[in-house]
A = this chain, B = another copy of it.
Amino acid sequence: MQVLENWSQKILRVALVLFLAVATAFELQAADPGWGIVIHGGAGATLKENMTAEKERALQLKLSEVLNTGHTILENGGSSLDAVQAAIRIMEDSPLFNAGRGAVFTHEGTNEMDASIMDGRSRNSGAVAGVQLIKNPINLARLVMEKSPHVMMAGKGAESFAAQHDVKTAPAEYFYTEPRWDSLQKHLKQQNLKDPLETERDHKFGTVGAAALDKDGNLAAGTSTGGMTNKRFGRIGDSPVIGAGTYANNATCAVSATGHGEYFIRSVVAYDISALMEYKGMSLQKASDYVINDKLKKFGGSGGVIAIDKHGNVAMPFNTAGMFRGYVHEDGEVVIRLYNN
C-alpha cells in the first residue's frame, strides 16, 4: 500500500507540473498580442482645461478613424510602414493636430514642418525638417528613405527634392487654422512682456505619431509635427531626429515621441528605450516607463512616447497631464485615451 500510495502521489505531482507547464505556455501565448498599431496625437500640460466636450468627441472620432485605417491595412497583410504612414497622413490632414494642416505658426507666421519614418526591418529611415507647403510631410519623409541615399533633408533643399518627385503641395491658406494663428498672436504679445526665452519654453504640444507591428513581424515608427508655436531660427525639434523622436528596430521595438523636443534630443529618448530592452533585458513597458517617468522627468523634460515591441505589446507612458493616444490589435478593439486614465 505504501508503495502504491507513493506512486500515485508521484503521478499526481507529475500531472500537476505538466498541467502548470501547459497552462503557462498557453497564458504566454495568449499574452502575446501580435500585430497592431499604436498612435499619439500629442502630449501636453494643460489639455483637460482647454478641452470642450465637442473637441473631445472630434478627437476621439479622428483617433478611432486613424486606428481603424491602420487595422485594415495590417489585417489585409499590409506593411507596418504603410500602416504608420497612413495613420500619420490622416492626422496631418486634420486641423486637430499640430502637424500638416494644423501645424502651428513660426515667429514669422509661416508653417515649418518636420517628419520622420523608420523601417525596423532594415533600419532604413527618412526625415525632413523645416519644410513649407508640403501637404503631407510624412509622405516626403518616406520618399527620402526610399528614393534618396540620404536620411535627412532640410528646408528649400528638401522642398526641391519633393518637387522632383511630384509631392503634393498646398497653398499657405490650407495651413491656416484660427486657433493656431491666435496662439501665435498671444505668444508674440507675451513676448513683449517677458523674457523671450521663457515665452518659447511656454510652448504647446500636438505632434502626431504612430508605431506598428505587421503580420510579417516587421516594426515601423513615424512622427510628424509643426514644432513649437513662435519658433524661430529654423529650429529643429526631436521629431525628425532618428533616435530622439522616432526609432524602429525589429530586434526590439518601434517608438514615436511627443513633447519638449530639446529634452528628447539631449536624452536620445526613442533609441534609449530600445537600448534598455536590448542591453538590460527590460520589457517595453518597463523601459519606456523608466525613460519617460524617471530619466526624462528628473532631467526636466515633459512629454511621452507610444511604442510597440516585436510581440505586439504596446506602451504609452507620458509625464504630462494628458496625451492623446490609442491602439488596436488583431481583435479590432479600439482603445483611446486622452488624459491620465
A residues contacting B by CB (< 8 A) are 118, 123-125, 129-130, 148-158, 160-161, 197, 200-201, 231-237, 241-244, 247, 261-262, 265-268, 271-272, 275-276, 279-280, 299
Contacts and interface: CB of A to CB of B under 8 A. Distances in A.
A156 B157 contact: no
29 contacts: A124-B266, A125-B266, A129-B154, A130-B154, A149-B262, A150-B233, A150-B235, A150-B262, A151-B266, A152-B236, A153-B236, A154-B154, A154-B155, A154-B234, A155-B156, A156-B234, A157-B232, A157-B234, A157-B235, A158-B234, A160-B233, A241-B241, A241-B242, A242-B244, A242-B268, A268-B268, A271-B275, A275-B275, A275-B279
Nearest to A272: B275
Contact of A242 (B125, B197, B247, B266): B266
Contacts of A268: 242-243, 247, 268, 271
B262 A243 contact: no
A201 to B, nearest CB: 6
B130 A157 contact: yes
A146 to B, nearest CB: 11
A257 to B, nearest CB: 13
Count copies of this chain in the complex: 2
A235 B244 CA distance: 18
A271 B243 contact: yes
A151, A155, A156: most-surrounded residue (chain B CB, <10 A): A151
A275 B280 CA distance: 10
A237 to B, nearest CB: 8
B265 A233 contact: no
A309 to B, nearest CB: 17
Contacts of A232: 157, 161
A74 B106 CA distance: 41
Nearest to A122: B266
A154 B153 CA distance: 10
A245 to B, nearest CB: 11
A266 B241 CA distance: 10
A149 to B, nearest CB: 5
Contacts of A237: 152
Contacts of A262: 149-151
* The 3 A-B residue pairs with the shortest CB-CB distance in the complex, in nearest-first order: A157-B234, A279-B279, A243-B268
A298 to B, nearest CB: 12
Contacts of A279: 275-276, 279-280
Contacts of A150: 200, 231, 233, 235-236, 262
A47 to B, nearest CB: 22
Contacts of A148: 197, 233
A103 to B, nearest CB: 16
Nearest to A158: B234
Contacts of A272: 271, 275
A155 B243 CA distance: 22
A268 to B, nearest CB: 4
